[in-house]
């Protein structure tokens, strides 16, 4: 009987220990997800900036092409940047992902697909070298791609 009690106690202690490790692992994973999410968004900002610099006559077409090509890839990764349970502010504390991302996941995916399509259109325009087409696609991506998603699913943290 004493042996059985000891084994049960050992089992309970092991379960508690494993749960503690799981919580610590989840917290670490969430921090990594938030960091990767912010890094990707900053990368997208730089890529958008490369296209904007070309439009403003402060950058070259090659950099704009690289930026637009990168945007087509990073916009496709967006759903992977928001796994369930990773709400909360970005590491710099500027923005927080709204809970609507997960409560209305299909709407979030539609916004991501729209942004990806707008990024693809921007790349076509940039590859054409036609500044008027680039500017139209750039504005469309900003308003109806990135901007639409950010308006619905991101909130600025007031400090």
Give the Cα separation of 139 and 7 in Å (integer): 66
Q: Classify domain 2-156 by CATH architecture.
A: Up-down Bundle (1.20)
Give the Cα separation of 154 and 99 in Å (integer): 9
Let me know the angle formed at the C-alpha of 66 by 76 and 90, rounded to the nearest 5 degrees: 50
Q: What is the pLDDT of residue 28?
A: 58
Q: What is the pLDDT of residue 18?
A: 47
Mean pLDDT, 10 residues at a time, over the chain (159 residues)? Answer: 50 47 52 94 97 98 98 97 93 92 98 98 98 98 96 92
């Amino acid at each position: 009987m004493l042996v059985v009690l000891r084994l049960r106690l050992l089992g309970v202690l092991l379960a508690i220990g494993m749960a503690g490790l799981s919580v610590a692992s989840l917290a670490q994973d969430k921090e990594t997800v938030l960091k990767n999410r912010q890094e990707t968004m900053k990368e997208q900002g730089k890529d958008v900036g490369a296209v904007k610099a070309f439009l403003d006559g402060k950058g070259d077409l090659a950099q704009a092409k690289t930026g637009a090509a990168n945007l087509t890839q990073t916009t496709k990764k967006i759903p992977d940047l928001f796994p369930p349970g990773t709400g909360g502010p970005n590491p710099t504390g500027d923005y927080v992902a709204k809970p609507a991302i997960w409560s209305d996941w299909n709407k979030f995916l539609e916004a991501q697909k729209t942004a990806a399509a707008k990024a693809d259109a921007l790349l076509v325009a940039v590859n054409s070298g036609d500044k008027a087409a680039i500017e139209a696609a750039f504005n469309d991506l900003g308003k109806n791609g990135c901007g639409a998603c950010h308006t619905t699913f991101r909130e600025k943290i007031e400090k």
